[in-house]
Structure 1
Amino acid sequence: MGCPEKPSDCGPQFNAKPAPSIQAFGDRATLLNSLQTPSGWAKQDDWVALLPLAEFAYNNGVHAGSKHSPFYLCYGYNPDFTVGDITVTQVPQADELAEFLKRNLEEAKAALTMAQNKQAFYYNNKHKAAIKLEPGDRVFLDSSNIKTSRPSHKLEHKRLGPYKVLEKIGKESYKLELPKSMKIHPVFHTALLHKEPFDEFQRKPKPLPPVITQTGEEYVVEKILDSRKQGRNLWYYVKWKGYGPEENTWEPKSHLANAPKQVAKFHQLHPDAPGP
């Protein structure tokens, strides 16, 4: 049969039980790394003997998600792990083993608690409380899920805007007033929104007013950023003077009759770009 031209993981040979997640392996590694043995964990050659203790501590410990231990959810109770009163035994080896089991079980429980706390720490850092917005507020929009015409997304602006909040949709989403050129659904979750910081000195320059001509109001073209062909029509991606990148728009060539210098400069810098 040979090897397929495009290997896939959807074939019948891949129907085996999935491997545990990397996160699950990380939790168990943290648990084992925190266990100590009489011979010392530096050798790392006696971890097999510790696996039953680690498994018991994991299954007998309360998990943050379910608020119960796996043992309790499966059997309705938590088994009691006791090694008896080691002071009344007469076998030194038994006393040593009992002390070994007791100490390692306590350390396994402590390691499990540490792993759960670490998970909670990273989760809380990533999932912050939702911001509260009101209609009229201005927010920046995370651009990670927005496609643009620029060739490298890594060099794209990390945030776009600010945009005006129009209304709240649902519990944690808001509708924004976006430029028509963006052509995307204007409702976003609060995780993608960042409230514009208040500037008491009003240092952000206000957009320039349109230029009044005989034909009406016209906005000043600062520069041309890109060009494209749609059918027989030529379009230019325009940066308007006095406005941020979120206000850039695609305009047909006929709308740029008063910006011949900007068009000529763009084609001089980008001779391979679509042109007339």
Structure 2
Amino acid sequence: MRFFKKGKLSPRYIRPFEILDKIGDRAYRLELPPDLDRVHNVFHVSMLHKYLSNPSHVLQYESLDLLPNLSYEEMPVQIFDRKVKVLRNKDIGLVKVLWRNQVIEEATWEPEEEMKHRYPNLIDFVDGYGGE
């Protein structure tokens, strides 16, 4: 949940984990690291990706600081684009935000006023970006 908007959770693929055992036809128990001890370790097959071993593949894993309700707070890293959405009777400034623990393809367009209110030090970058 970000900016008080409810929405569907998007799955995050962190890294490969060892399968401890198969539960029924469609579930697996995984060996999770200690920092994910509050996460249930049984997953449906639809939540898993097959991993093909590759010696040249180096995995980078950043641990998440989980809150007691097993969520984590997204923090903006960078604003790298700006646009104005024109509606019938008003214009809405939007900024494209790169979030921590996400790749650039998952950057989102957020309302500029909301970002100014929540993260005033980050918005200073937009003024220097060459926006309006």
TM-score (norm 1): 0.23
Q: Which has the higher contact order (CA 8 A, sep 6+)?
A: 2
Q: Which has the higher helix share?
A: 1
Q: Which has the higher strand share?
A: 2
TM-score (norm 2): 0.43
Larger radius of gyration: 1
